[in-house]
Amino acid sequence: MKILVISPRVPAKGKKGDQVLSFHRLEYLSRSHQIHLICFGGSDEDKSQKLQLESLGIRVQMVHWSKFEAVFSALRSLFNFNKPFQCALFESSVFRSVIGVTISNFRPNVVYAITIRALGSLGLYRGPLFVDMVDSMALNFSRRVNNSRGLKRFLLNIEYLRVKEYEIQMAKSASFSFVVSNIDKEVIGSDKVIALPLGIDMQEFNKTPDRNADPVVTFTGNMHYQPNVDAVVWFYKNCWARLQQLIPNVRLVVAGSNPQPEIIAMRSDKVLVTGRVESIAAVLNSSRVSIAPMQSGSGMQFKILEAMACGVPVVTTSLGLGDIAATDGKEILVVDSPDLFSDAVASLLKSNELNATIGDAGLRYVKQHHSWDVINDRFEQILISTTNNYLTCQ
């Protein structure tokens, strides 16, 4: 089958959630299908990732993302209430032209879009269309609205209303759309949306035998992403002082690219803000506890599954747990109040037995429920059966 893929970013390991997910989707599909990918990119890092995709037999065309055109498109969208700013920023006449030429020459059996952001450039294509929404952007914005005040809240609410309607429209027009959580599926509210959980690369994320015994607590994730910033700020303001009283020699590591000023300001002899690291798995395996005190955001948290895959016990909030089916008190600890959150982390730092019990149970859970091959096999079967039905009806 010929699959045309359009994406606002280059699919890649170790990057943002949609990039990781799409990389593993394409790696699996490339084993049996002919894939042509069109995406924005052009940096040296993008070119390196392009080579990795091409080594899988995937044809990759990268289009330069123009800041000037993005700003102009965003300004135009001020008067178009049906278009989210998230999508306007990725409107590109060049991108649209490349897609049109590729459809004419490549003649794909199906188009697969990564997120809703680049769909505005698809033009008049009328064949089978599959959209990996990853999570509900509307749910993400609604939670950010609830955590904001003043002008920021007003602006976020405008985008929330636009995104909500756009997601619904795209779900109706696509053959099927995919999210990683049933919670996100329910928000979009369409029977054409399918929930497929995130997978984990168990070759990259695995438990090392020489686990650090020092009381190190770790938060991992892209530190430019506002829900991650909100989570760390909440923990630092509400839990950190109490945890230091309970475990005086505890240290906090915040690992992830592009840390924002409010995160950098936390740096001290007890708080390490690393910025981007070569290996998140190595950071996790040097810690005793991983935290995900999410206060906003949507979808399924890679950071939780990655820590569990390394056998590191996780403490999260109900919002952070989301649709992950791990059992509280057995495979993960779920706590929402600040004092109890601090106490849960302290209990895992104090008790080697509890630490190992929760960590090992979490590892078993990920192995059983979050294999990329099993998840992507289902994704492939949906693409094949839907496309075959479409061709039969022509």
Q: Which CATH class is domain 216-369?
A: alpha beta
pLDDT confidence bin for 203, thresholds 50/70/90: confident
Q: What region, left, alpha or beta, does residue 59 occupy, with left being phi > 0 and alpha being psi -120 to 50 degrees? A: beta
Task: Supply the DSSP string of 102-171, one letter for each residue.
Answer: HHHHH--SEEEEESSTTGGG-TT--S-EEEEEES-HHHHHHHHHHT--HHHHHHHHHHHHHHHHHHHHHH
In the prediction, which pLDDT does 333 show?
Answer: 98
Tell me, yes or no, if the two domains 2-199+372-393 and 216-369 fold the same way. Answer: yes
- Nearest 5°: the CA angle 58, 60, 61 is 160
pLDDT digits (tens, 9 = 90+) for 271-312: 999 999 989 999 999 999 999 999 988 878 999 999 999 999
pLDDT digits (tens, 9 = 90+) for 224-261: 989 999 999 999 999 999 999 999 999 999 999 999 99
In the prediction, which pLDDT does 394 show?
Answer: 62
Distance CA 56, CA 34 (A): 10
What is the mean pLDDT of the segment spanning 144-170? 90
Buried b / exposed e across 69-98, counting CB within 10 Å, b at 16+? bbeebbeebeeeeebbbbbbbbbbeebbeb
Distance CA 115, CA 12 (A): 15
CATH number of 2-199+372-393: 3.40.50.2000
What is the mean pLDDT of the segment spanning 144-165? 89
In the prediction, which pLDDT does 82 show?
Answer: 82
Q: Domain segments of the chain: what residues?
A: 2-199+372-393, 216-369
